[in-house]
Amino acid sequence: MTLTRPTLLFVHGAWHQPAVWDRLRAELDVLGYQSRAVDLPTSGPDARGGMPDDADAVRKEIAAIGGPVVVVAHSYGGIPVSEAATGLPDVEHLVYLTAYQLDRGESMFSFHGVPDPAETDGLIPISGDPREAFYGDLSAAEAEAAISQLVDQRLRACVGRVTEPAWRSIPSTYIICANDQAIPVPLQEKMADRATDVRRIESSHSPFLSRPAEVAALLDDIITSRG
């Protein structure tokens, strides 16, 4: 492990924005970590582009840090991270927090066995109840606050295919969220088989909101226990 403590770079999932990481980043501040959060262009009030544009945004943030980086991706965010970090020597470790750790030629849709739609130039709605899917272990008031911050998501992001996944050349940890209703545990376990290391947390899909101190401690352990 390097003597310089890495900066953590956080990459949000679909329908979310960088502020979703604020609670976790505050806990990491206490532990002495510097962190940044990427703003993915395919999510937002002015959602645009596709997965390659999100990967470009991740690359630019990594370059701006200019030193050792541990990238932490959530949900959809794992896809542009896998695409972006390949060949970047400053990236020391990848953390997939109930995230899509996809292989060559896979997209979110293909991983789920969903065919690409004929038209991808639009938005993708949230199916089902977002509280159940994303925020099952938040209080009703906290879940409503989180839901109020959800934004538009470009459909094109879901069909973008990974070319050369970074986890094939960079060590990675997969964090399985045992009560996740958005990405079922068997699918998480399938992707976790691709990681160098696997951890578990007893949470729903968004532990950075429901258990920020626990996630911060887990990330600290992942970083400090690397060989």
How many degrees, rounded to 5, is the angle at CA 74 between CA 85 and CA 148?
135
Q: For residue 82, is it within any domain?
A: yes
Task: Judge whether residue 226 has pLDDT over 90.
Answer: no
Nearest to 188 by CA among 82, 113, 99: 99
Residue type, 89: P
Q: Could you tell me the residue range of the domain that residue 95 belongs to?
A: 7-224
Contact 7/69 with Cβ under 8 angstroms?
yes
Give all strands (DSSP E) within the chain, no chain letters.
7-11, 35-38, 69-74, 91-97, 172-177, 197-201
For the chain, what is the mean pLDDT? 96
* Residue 1 placed within a domain: no
pLDDT band at 127 (very low <50, low <70, confident <90, very high): confident
Question: Which of 1-10, 95-104, 128-137, 161-170 is the least confident region?
Answer: 1-10
pLDDT at site 227? 62
Question: String of b and e for 57-79 (b: at least 16 CB within 10 Å)?
Answer: bbbebbeebeebbbbbbbbbbbb
Domains identified in the chain, total number = 1
Is residue 43 within 8 A of residue 16, CB to CB? The reply is yes
- Residue 178 sits in a domain whose CATH number is 3.40.50.1820
Taking only the tens place, the pLDDT of each residue in 200-223 is: 999 999 999 999 999 999 999 999
Q: Indicate whether 27 belongs to any domain.
A: yes
Residue 103 has pLDDT above 90, yes or no: yes
Quick check: is 126 in a domain?
yes
Is 20 among the domain residues?
Answer: yes
Confirm whether 155 is domain-assigned.
yes
* pTM higher than the cut 0.95: yes
| Among 198, 188, 195, CA closest to 222 | 198
- Residue 2 covered by a domain: no
Q: Is the dihedral of CA 69, 70, 72, 76 positive or negative?
A: positive
* Residue 123 domain flag: yes
Give the span between the Cα atoms of 179 and 115, in whole angstroms. Answer: 27
Closest by alpha carbon to 5, among 39, 28, 26, 38?
28
The amino acid at residue 64 is A
